Chain A
Amino acid sequence: MIVAGTLPMEGLDLIMERGKLIKNRIVLGNMKFPISMGTGALIGASIKVHEYFGEELPEVITAGDIGIGDGSLKIYRHLREVRDDLLVIHYIKPKISEIKEIDFSPKIVADAGGMYAAKAAGIGDKFHLFLPDVGELAFLADEKASHPAYVRGFISEVDDREVPELIKRTYGNRMPRYMVVKGERDYIVRDEDILDRVENPKIETMECIGGTGDTLTGIISSLINCGYKTEKACILGCKVNRTLGEIVNPTPKTQIDELIFQIPKALEVLNL
């Protein structure tokens, strides 16, 4: 499995290394990075799942980008040829012209900027799995929107109860076979049909902790890579992420690394 996404370090050149976790740092080659929200949290969660199952740790393709797009471009260019069968694209500056040029031969999971770029380019159906939250689902559903910040009011103002309707609408816009809509209640979707809903345990404070969506993407992708079928991985991943909340009992001040370090325990609680 390859995780591709930017890290918020100015000037950091392209790195391709298997990721490791040492204490609360991600280690890539001879460089160390904090486990912060974004690609960092996804890498951390992926490593924890792979370690638990004794699988080879994921390869990370990253570069520094603070929003200018320089690191994103290096990653896009590198993805024109991918030597793996599972690719996860995460925090990256959306660039329609570049996302169209990547190698689509592996299964591709896209979240964050990777998902925004795929939708804006109108090529979501070339992907395997998207993981939007409810706000991002509205963006996917709005055929005119090119970024979640541009969703038209009549779509963006829907509340959580209208998610199933929004999912249907989304599939009019070229979507991947699978989708996990994360929120108060998580929806697992295949070909526009809702296969399952996961809503317990309910931990209200998880919503405000930066990185809980990133850990979900990391856990689900890793479960797929460790041999679970996508549907099963999506359902289990949602349960694992919620169990993390139950174990840590977070406050609005809790940081994402505290949750990531409990992933093995959550997997154990769920008898995986």
Chain B
Amino acid sequence: MRPFQYSRAPSLAEASNLTADENALAIAGGTNLLDLMKLQVETPDQLADINRLGFADIEDTDEGGLRLGSLATNTETAVHPRVRADYPVLSRAILAGATQQLRNKATNGGNLCQRTRCFYFTNIDQPCNKREPGSGCGAIDGIAKLHAILGTSEQCIATYPGDMAVALSALGAEVQISGDKGERSVPVRDFHLLPGDTPWIENVLEPGEIITGIVLPAPVGSTQIYRKVRERSSYAFALVSVAAIIELTDGKFSRADFAFGGLAHKPWFDPRFGEALIGQPPSEALFDKAADVLLEDARGYGENDFKIPLTRRTLRAVLAQATEDAA
């Protein structure tokens, strides 16, 4: 068997210490990590169990926002009265992911760190630059229906699979991180990285850094929509998902914060999309124009070409829903 050291981290400092090694990983809910360890896609020498560190609270911030503990479960977060009342897009996004059993176990921090479900990443007998740098990308010219159309590289066309982070990106949330160099805060929009030439680096966490919380800004009201298109109605990853926070003033967009899932190696946030909408009255033509901007550099890989028109159409659905919800 593959031996590894399992330690229960008694403190944040110790957790940081335990995960500082290159081949160390933190484990919280384990819903993704354990699967990957069984497949030997992940082969840590050291597992630091961070479940006893606290960070499970969901509490108000002085700024009127909400701080989600990194170890609060997805279920606890989705059903929290303030999340439901003030950040419904987040509640809906979480509930659109995985299954009830998985959400009961999965944590907010872990959700941000989940790995791609690319078929070639999870099969250790196939090439994957993310898993084995330099081995090639099996998905390019392979089965790539679920794969990315934006921000890809010749090294990797995998998608970030989650839903929660897409809503967090639209909301402009911040990730709180603690490590041996102290604490820092990173916008969710900057937390995940594009593959470039280093597809194995998926986010900005440095060795020894632990996510302690996610901070939501003060609520903005507005119409909040999470729209996930998938091949079955539950327990399937997004073909395309859209998190939208929309406000109309005098019949014109005064707020239009959109983030997209299923399109890229990270939750996709393009400020130009919202800028194209602001100050304009909603219409399909306007959404199409904004979609042109969004999809300007989109590239299909054969099997996933449909994601380009699907994104456009899903945006029209969001528009229809938004105008219906606002009415």
A and B: real partners?
no
Binding site for A on B (CB under 8 A): none
